[in-house]
């Protein structure tokens, strides 16, 4: 707040323990995001595929609902690995849109207003600063990925009986693993982008472009080299590879050379490598703003 306004007041509330001080950044960042009514509405829109999936699960397990809807071929209804892979991929795209909205607000505003040195001059180091900001995206993205999908799993388990849950318990591990790796990729890439690009609109465009433009270059490489290795640039495709493999679902065709699938280790190596590269870029950018305390 500008000094000439004479409206600032010193903080007189309780002091957070130093171990959990990074959560102060998380709390105020979340309050800033949800102060926007548009963001709150968008959060609810991202759960629309989950609501439709819950309705599908109910109809699949309810003979009465099937009779009311006059569904002839009931054998087409099933809740299996393919169903969970599709809903999780849909929510992964929703998580990407949320990241493009919320991510640039977390670091870019601090850099554009030269506020980062003020943060780091307090009892707060770079790791705690990044943790506090990353926790915002982790919490938001969890609410649209693994949490609602696990609720769908619980709904199916309650309607189909306890034996179904035990037989498909591996789905839980697949949902958690796929969601966590995607949340890590989105969070770290968004923070790194917003740290290097100070303008919010540009940071949003760059973040979205990193997930949309490289797949096009990858397909061009596939066409020229007659290979499928160009798909390592397609991060959503790599996530789909991991999910379908862990859920035991068939992989959908993605253009030419789909008969030459990438090995699973390639998807994991690329996604983990993107996380480490984003951390390196973020660390380099924040190092320049760190204030050495005596």
Span 230-275, pLDDT tens digits: 889 999 999 999 999 999 888 776 665 555 678 899 999 999 999 9
Give me the pLDDT at residue 124, please: 77
Q: What percent of the chain has pLDDT over 70?
A: 87
Predicted TM-score (pTM) of this structure: 0.87
For the cut 80, the answer to whether the pLDDT of residue 214 exceeds it is yes
Q: Highest mean pLDDT range out of 101-115, 121-135, 164-178, 196-210?
A: 164-178
What's the pLDDT at 15? Answer: 72
Residue 178: the pLDDT is: 94
The tokens of 267 are what? 């998807």
Most confident of 13-17, 94-98, 251-255: 94-98
Half-sphere exposure of 157 (CA within 13 A, CB side): 15
What pLDDT is stored for residue 291 in this prediction? 46
User: Is residue 264 within a helix (H) or strand (E), and if so which, with residue range?
Assistant: helix 264-287
**Cβ-contact 203, 49 below 8 angstroms:** no
Q: What pLDDT is recorded for position 202?
A: 86
Helix (H) or strand (E) holding 187: helix 170-196
């Amino acid at each position: 707040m500008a000094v000439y306004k004479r409206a600032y007041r010193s903080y007189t509330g309780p002091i957070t323990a130093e171990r959990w001080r990074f959560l102060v950044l998380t709390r105020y960042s979340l309050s800033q995001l949800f102060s926007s009514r548009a963001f709150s509405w968008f959060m609810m829109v991202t759960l629309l595929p989950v609501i439709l999936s819950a309705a599908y699960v109910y109809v699949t397990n309810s003979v009465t609902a099937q009779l009311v809807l006059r569904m002839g071929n009931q054998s087409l209804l099933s809740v299996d690995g393919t169903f969970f892979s599709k809903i999780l991929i849909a929510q992964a795209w929703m998580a990407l849109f949320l990241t493009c909205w919320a991510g640039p607000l977390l670091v870019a505003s601090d850099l554009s207003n030269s506020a980062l040195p003020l943060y780091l001059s307090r009892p707060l180091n770079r790791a705690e600063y990044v943790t506090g900001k990353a926790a915002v995206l982790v919490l938001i993205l969890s609410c649209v990925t693994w949490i609602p999908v696990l609720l769908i799993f619980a709904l199916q388990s309650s309607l189909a009986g306890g034996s179904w849950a035990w037989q498909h318990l591996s789905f839980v591990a697949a949902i958690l693993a796929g969601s966590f790796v995607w949340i890590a990729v989105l969070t770290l890439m968004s923070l790194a982008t917003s740290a290097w690009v100070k303008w919010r609109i540009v940071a949003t465009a760059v973040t979205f472009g990193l997930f949309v433009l490289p797949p096009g270059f990858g397909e061009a490489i596939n066409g020229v080299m007659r290979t499928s290795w160009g798909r390592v640039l397609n991060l959503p495709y790599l996530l789909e590879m991991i999910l379908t493999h862990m859920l035991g679902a068939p992989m959908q065709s993605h253009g030419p050379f789909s008969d030459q699938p990438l090995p699973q280790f390639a998807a994991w190596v690329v996604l983990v490598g993107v996380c480490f590269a984003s951390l390196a870029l973020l660390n380099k950018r924040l190092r320049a703003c760190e204030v050495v305390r005596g």
